[in-house]
Amino acid sequence: MGHIIYKEFHGCFGHRVWNQNLEEKFADSTQCTCRHLHGHNFKTVIYLESEKLVNGMVTDFKHLGAFKKWLDRVMDHKTLMDISDPMIPVMLPKAKIEEAILELKDKLFTIPETKKDLTELEFELYAGIVFVNFVPTAENISKWIFEAVNTLLPKGVRCTKVEFWETQKAGAIYTNE
């Protein structure tokens, strides 16, 4: 255990939870409305820890700039789509899912980098989609952010917990404790 600091980030994202069926005795319907493509204003709070303080700090909050750039590039105003979502061939017929699956073995996401084989409008659509290798639930997104932030921190600093608020009233926490 050491010193802990935290920082809050905000943004907007879209997603679709395609694999969920509700238990009728706990809900008014067995179909989850999250199966529809929809969006949220999110908040995420990351908690950082260090055994030693450097210049009286766990780390300078400016060291979170790389994480903020990552968050802006891969999540803010983007739509997260699980590469296993059966709706992709219908919604995004030019998605190269086989290539995305190969890329995602080593990466957490993929974004189209070029306009190759896409019209201007198609590129605009595809540039807003981030393919991930998980169903984009609050629980999975909090773990995804946890893993990402831990790759973007100075030596001796580690993320110990991520809170991900999908709405003002609902969210998930991922921690390594």
In a domain, 30, yes or no: no
| Residue 15 within any structural domain of the chain | yes
| CATH code, domain carrying 61 | 3.30.479.10
Q: In total, how many domains does the chain have?
A: 1
pLDDT at 89 over 90: no
Task: Kindly report, residue by residue over 46-70, the tens digit of the pLDDT.
Answer: 999 998 888 999 999 999 999 999 9
Range of the domain at 153: 3-19+42-175
Dump pLDDT digits (tens) for 98-155: 665 555 555 555 656 666 777 888 778 888 888 888 999 999 999 999 999 999 999 9
Asked whether residue 37 is domain-assigned, the answer is no
CA quadruple 110, 111, 114, 117: dihedral sign: positive
Q: Tokens 């973007």 appear where?
A: 152
Strands 3-15, 78-82: pairing kind: parallel
Give a yes or no: residue 98 inside a domain: yes
Q: Which residues have CB under 8 Å from 137's CB, separation 6+?
A: 17, 172
The stretch 157-174 carries a mean pLDDT of 96
- Percent of the chain at pLDDT exceeding 70: 81
Determine the Cα–Cα distance for residues 121 and 26; give it in Å rounded to an integer: 42
Structural domain includes residue 27: no
